[in-house]
Amino acid sequence: MMRDTIVGRIPNMTSGRGARSRRKGDAKNIIEIRNLVKDYPLGSTTVHALRRMDLDIQEGDFLSIVGPSGSGKTTLLNVIGCIDHATDGSVKVGGTEITTLDDRQITDMRLHRIGFIFQTFNLIPVLDVRENVEFPLLLMKTMSKTEVRTRAEKLIDEVGLTEFVDHRPAELSGGQRQRVAIARALVTNPDIVLADEPTANLDSVTGAQILDLMRTMNKIEKTTFIFSTHDANVLKYARDIIKIKDGQIVKG
Amino acid sequence: MELILKIAWRNILRHKGKSLIIGVILFLGSLLMTVGNGVISGMDHGLERNIVNGFLGDLVIIPGKEKSDNVLFKMYGESIDKIANYKDIKKLLQKEDYIAGFLPIGRNVAMILNEEEGDPGYAMLLGVDFDQYRRFFPNNFESVEGRLLAKGESGILIPLKHREDVYDQMNVWLIPEGSAVTDKNLSDDARKNRKYLNVKHDAVFMGMSDVYSSSDIRLPVRGIIRYNALNTIWGHFSIMDIESYRRCLGYFAASESAVKVTKEKKKLLEMDSSNLDAMFGTTDFVVADTGKADISGISFKRKEIPKTSGDVDLEDGAYNLILVRLKDRVSLNRGLSKLNRSLASANLGVRATTWKKASGFIGSMATLIKGALFVFVMFLFLVAIIIIVNTLTMAALERTTEIGMMRAVGAQKGFIGRMFLGETAILSGLFGGLGVLIGVIAVKITPLLRITSDNDLVQLLFGGDTFMPYLSLGDIAVVLFELLLVTFITVIYPVKVSRGITPLDAISRD
C-alpha cells in the first residue's frame, strides 16, 4: 500500500546517470528491499525511521543516498549493512535474506559480503596500516599469511599508501585514514561497500580525492558502492542517486 | 590467537594507567597469596616437624573409652584412662610393617602440694621410661640445670616454663637436687625476690584422676630442661619416671607384686563405679580380702621417695598413651586406617588417632589460621576483583567505538571476549607472575634471617621457635590456580559487557 507513495525499482526511477548504463548491461540486483520498516522507541513515542520502503540496487553500482539530516539515510545503510535490524519487511543482500539471520550469521555476512567506510575513519588504533587492512582477512581465516599480506599490500598500493604501511592511524591524516578504511573495506572482495558520509570530516579537496578513489575502486574491483551524503558537491560523483525524506524514497 | 594477543598486548601498552592499576592489584594479591601460603605451610610443616619428631610421633594410641581424641590438652580435672594391656598392644605393633617405632607413656595432671599452707601448683606430667623416651625423641630437649634421669631412676625433669608456673602458683622455686640457684635462669618475678626465694629440691605430687585413687609422692627434681622447639608450649609438660607416675596416679606399678584377683573381685573391679545398684544389688557381691587390692581411695599420707625400679619390667604396668612413628612414605591417613583396623580386629580396647587430633587446639591451629588467612585473602581478592572488574568494564565501555567497529567489519563476539581475556591474562601473567616470583623469593630468604619468638601464639604461627615459611610446588600451584581463578572471575563481566557492544553502539557514539 505504501509502495504507491514511494519509488520502487529505484535505479530506474532515480536521476542517476549510471542507471541507464547498467540497464544496458542487464546487471542483477545485489540488494532487494521490500516493505522495509524501521522504528525506534524514543521514550514513550516511536520514531518511524524507515516507512515501508522498497528498493532494488544493481550489482556494480556507484550509488548515493541523499537527504536531509534525520531522513533515514544512515538507518537504511545500517539495515543494508547488517548493522541494524529491520522492524518489518524483507532485505536481501546478494540473494540472502538478512532479516532472519542470527548474530553469528549476520556477523559472517558483514565479514564476507559487506565492506564499511565510516564517517569517522574508524580504524583499530593499535594496529598499523597494513595490519588494519589485513584485519578482516585474518578474521576470515581462509588465506595463508602470505596471501593475506599480498592482498593487503595490493589494496594499500591501490589507495596510494604504500609508504605509510607501517604507520599507526594516529600518525595519518584524515584523508589517509579514510583511504585505509577504503582498502580495508575492499580487501575481502565484498559484494557491496557501504560508506556513511565518507567525506563529512574531510576538507573539500581531500573529500574529492576520496570519492575519486572510491569510484576508481568501483571500476577496478567491480564492487557495488553505496554512500550517503547531504553534500550536493558529492552527488556529481554518483552514478545513481536515491533521495530519501522522512523515511521514504522520493522522486528527485 | 596471534592477532588477539597482538591487539591485547598493544592495548595494554596503550592504556598504561589502567593496565598499571590492574597490574599492581594483581601483583599485590599474588604476593600476599604466595607469602600467606608460605607462612601457613611453614606453620603446618613446623608444627608437624616439631610435634611429630619431638613430642607425639605420627599417631597416638589412646584408650578406647576416651570420648575425645584430644588427649594432650584436656581440661584440668579430666584424666586420661589407662592402657593396662600394653604388652598385648606391643605384640600387635611389632607385626605392623608400616610402623617405624612406638613409645608408651603416661600422660595426666598432678597437683603439687604446697607444704607451707599456700596454694597448690599443677603439673602436666609425662610418665616415661626415660631410656626409651630418649631413644624415641633423641634431641627434643636439653638440660639447662642439673642432669637427666639415670636408667631406672625415679625423679622429675621440670621445664623452665613449668618451673616459672610453679613459682607463680606456689611461690616455690624448684632447682635440681645438689645444685644452687642459677641466677640467669630466674624469671623476672623470682629475680625480684631473689633474697627471699623459697628454694626446694623436691616436691610432693598428687595425681589427679577422676577414676582411680591417686597417691601423693615426694620426688626429687633431677634436672631443669628446655624443649628445643615450641618450648613455651611443651614447657608445661614435666617428665616423670614411669613408676613414680604410676604410683602418683594410683595405677598398679610394675614393681608391685602381682595381685591374684578372684572371680568375684574381678567382677567388682570391672563394674561401673557410678552404678550402685549393680554393685550392691546382687548376692554375687562377695569379695575376698587379699589386703593388696588398690581400692582404698586417696591416701593422704605422703609417701617417701620411691626406690628405683631396678630390673623390674616396666612394661607390666599401666600407661595412658602409645606414641607411634610411621615409616617414611607411609601417609598419615593410610597408617591411621591400617592401624585402627588392626587394633579393632584384635579387640584391644584402644584406638589410634593422628597427632593433629591428639594435640587438640595446637594441631588444629594450623587449619584454623589457614582458614582465617584464606578468608582474609579472599576478602582482599574480592575487593581487588571489584576494582579490576570496574576498571576493565570502564575500559570496555571507553572502547565502544573500537569494539563496535571490529564487530562491524566481521569480528564475532567470541573474538572480542578473547581479546579482553587475553589482555587480562597477559596482565595477570606478568604482574601476578611477578608477585608469585617475589613471594617465592621472600619465602626462601626469610628462614635465613632466623626470626625467633618466645611468645606462645607467635610460636604457633611460626610452627616452632623460628619463623620458617615454606612453599612446596603444590603450594605454588595452588597460588597460580588462585591467580587463574581471579583472572577468570574478573574478566567475566567486562567480557559480557564488551560482547554486548554492537556496531550500532559505535555508530551511535560517533
State whether B315 and B435 are in the same domain: no
Domain edge (last residue) among B289, B320, B348: B348
The residue of chain B nearest to residue A201, with distances taken between CA atoms, is B510
In a domain, B279, yes or no: no
Q: What percent of chain B is predicted at pLDDT more than 90?
A: 33
Asked if the structure places residue B295 within a domain, the reply is no
By C-alpha distance, the chain B residue nearest A81 is: B408
Q: How far apart are CA B410 and CA A115, in angstroms?
A: 9
Which residues from A are below 8 Å from B503, CB to CB?
A: 83, 110
Domain boundary among B348, B379, B403: B348
Candidates A110, A118, A119; nearest CB to B410: A110
* pLDDT of amino acid A70: 85
Which chain A residues are closer than 8 Å to B6 by Cβ?
127, 131
Evaluate if residue B284 carries a pLDDT over 70: no
Higher pLDDT: B88 or B286? It is B88
Least confident window among A234-248, B291-305, B467-481: B291-305
Residues B20 and B149 in one domain: no
Please tell me whether residues B43 and B82 are part of one structural domain: no
**CA distance, residue A143 to nearest chain B CA (Å):** 14
What is the mean pLDDT of the segment spanning B286-315? 48
What would the pLDDT profile of A4-42 be if each residue is shown by its tens digit? Answer: 222 333 333 333 333 333 343 556 889 999 999 999 888
- Pairing of the two strands A224-229 and B202-208: unpaired
Alpha helices in B347-501 (DSSP H): 355-358, 360-398, 400-408, 413-427, 433-445, 456-462, 473-499
Looking at the fold, whether B338 and B382 belong to one and the same domain comes out as: no
Summarize pLDDT for B179-236 with one digit per residue, the tens: 899 989 899 889 988 888 889 999 999 888 766 667 789 999 999 999 888 777 788 8
In this structure, are B36 and B166 located in the same domain?
no
B282 within some domain = no
- Based on the domain organization, do B205 and B313 belong to the same domain? yes
Average pLDDT over residues B420-436: 91
Q: Tell me which residues of chain B have a C-beta less than 8 Å from any C-beta of chain A.
A: 3, 6-7, 10-11, 13-14, 401-402, 405-413, 415, 502-504, 506-507, 510
d(CA A139, CA B3): 9
Tell me whether residue B132 is in a domain. Answer: yes
pLDDT tens digits, residue range B32-55?
888 888 888 888 888 888 888 888
Which residues of chain A have a CB within 8 Å of the CB of B411? 107, 111, 139
Structure confidence at residue B468 (pLDDT):
87
Tell me which chain B residues have a C-beta less than 8 angstroms from the C-beta of A140. 410
Which pLDDT belongs to residue A4? 29
Would you state the pLDDT for residue B264?
64
Asked if B40 and B87 sit in the same domain, the reply is no
> Do B422 and B4 form a contact (C-beta atoms < 8 A)?
yes
Q: Which of B409, B418, B501 to mutate to test the interface with A (most CBs of A within 10 A)?
A: B409
Rg (CA), chain B: 32
Q: Flag whether pLDDT at A164 surpasses 70.
A: yes
Give the span between the Cα atoms of B379 and B377, in whole angstroms.
5
H helices present in B101-173, as ranges: 130-136, 160-170
Residue B283 lies in a domain: no
Give the span between the Cα atoms of A31 and B21, in whole angstroms.
Answer: 49
Mean pLDDT of B362-371: 74
d(CA B238, CA B225): 9
- In this structure, the answer to whether residues B42 and B131 fall within a common structural domain is no
Q: Are B184 and B333 members of one domain?
A: yes
The answer on pLDDT for B286 being more than 70 is: no
Together in a domain, B378 and B231 = no
Question: What pLDDT is stored for residue B510 in this prediction?
Answer: 58
Lowest mean pLDDT among A14-18, A87-91, B338-342, B445-449: A14-18
DSSP B231-286: HHHHTTEEEEEHHHHHHHHTPPPTTSPP----HHHHHHHHS-TT-HHHHHSSTT--
Preferred mutation among B507, B508, B510 to probe A, highest tally of A CBs within 10 A: B507
Contact B3 A81 (CB under 8 A): no
Residues of A in CB contact (< 8 Å) with B are 74, 78, 81, 83-84, 103-104, 107-108, 110-112, 115-116, 118-120, 122-127, 131, 135-136, 138-140, 184, 188, 196
Q: Quick: pLDDT tens for B252-261.
A: 666 664 555 5
- Last residue within a domain, chosen from B313, B348, B383: B348
Find chain A residues with C-beta within 8 A of B415's C-beta. 139
Searching chain A, which residue's CA lies closest to the CA of residue B3?
Answer: A138
DSSP-assigned beta bridge partners for residue B237: B124
Mean predicted confidence (pLDDT) in B481-486: 87
**B461 and B374 housed in the same domain:** yes
Note whether residue B157 is domain-resident: yes
Domain range enclosing B424: 2-51+364-509
Give tens-digit pLDDT for B497-509. 999 998 888 777 6
Q: What pLDDT score does B176 carry?
A: 95
Residue B273 lies in a domain: no
Total number of domains constituting chain B = 2
Using CB atoms, pick whichever of B10, B14, B409 lies closest to residue A136. Answer: B409
Same domain, B148 and B193: yes
pLDDT digits (tens, 9 = 90+) for A49-87: 899 999 999 988 999 998 888 889 889 999 999 989 999
Q: For residues A22-41, b (16+ Cβ closer than 10 Å) or e, as one string? A: beeeebebbbbbebbbbeee
pTM for the model stands at 0.69
In a domain, B212, yes or no: yes
On average, the pLDDT of chain B sits at 83
CB pair distance less than 8 Å for A107 and B3: no
